[in-house]
Amino acid sequence: MEVSLTVNGRAVTSDVEPRTLLVHFIREHLRLTGTHVGCETGYCGACTVHVDGKAVKSCTMFAVQADGADILTIEGVANDDVLHPVQEGFWERHGLQCGFCTPGMIMSSIALLEANRTPTETEIRHGIEGNLCRCTGYHNIVRSVQYAAAVMRGEEPPPPDWET
């Protein structure tokens, strides 16, 4: 089947088998490998992308279901050489270790902050609960999102825990 969609601002048309998952279309057809394949059951969130502005686990959606959609992957988040505030937050507050979950965490965090610029710690934890990290214990991920929220509001980010 033919699918036409916009991925990271670029129009894409391709023939795919109807059973092709969106995550495999992104990685194998488009060669955008920042979207990770984790559990392929929707449990881990490593494959999270934005479909028409909504965070979606791309292993739970067929590519043909995305026909006509606007897709944003982790590769499309930074603006040229300028990191998105969430990416900057993960860098500044050490929100990653091995990095496998990071693209999905960032995509979910961006969606959270687009809906709520002043999330509480509980709201942040709830906003990323569909993304699993086996390395960090989430503390620095939450701090990364708090950093990004402050930057997106035009405020000074809170100091890192190690400076307080």
Domains of the chain: total: 2
- The packing angle between helices 139-152 and 85-92, to 10°, is 140
Q: Has this prediction a pTM greater than 0.85? A: yes
Q: Is residue 162 part of a domain?
A: no
Instruction: Tell me, yes or no, whether 145 and 113 share the same domain.
Output: yes
Span 26-68, pLDDT tens digits: 999 999 999 999 988 889 999 999 999 999 999 999 999 999 9
Which residues span the domain enclosing 14? 2-76
In this structure, what CATH number is given to the domain that contains residue 53?
Answer: 3.10.20.30
Mention every residue, 6+ apart, whose C-beta is less than 8 A from residue 14. Answer: 2, 3, 25, 29
Q: Is residue 163 part of a domain?
A: no
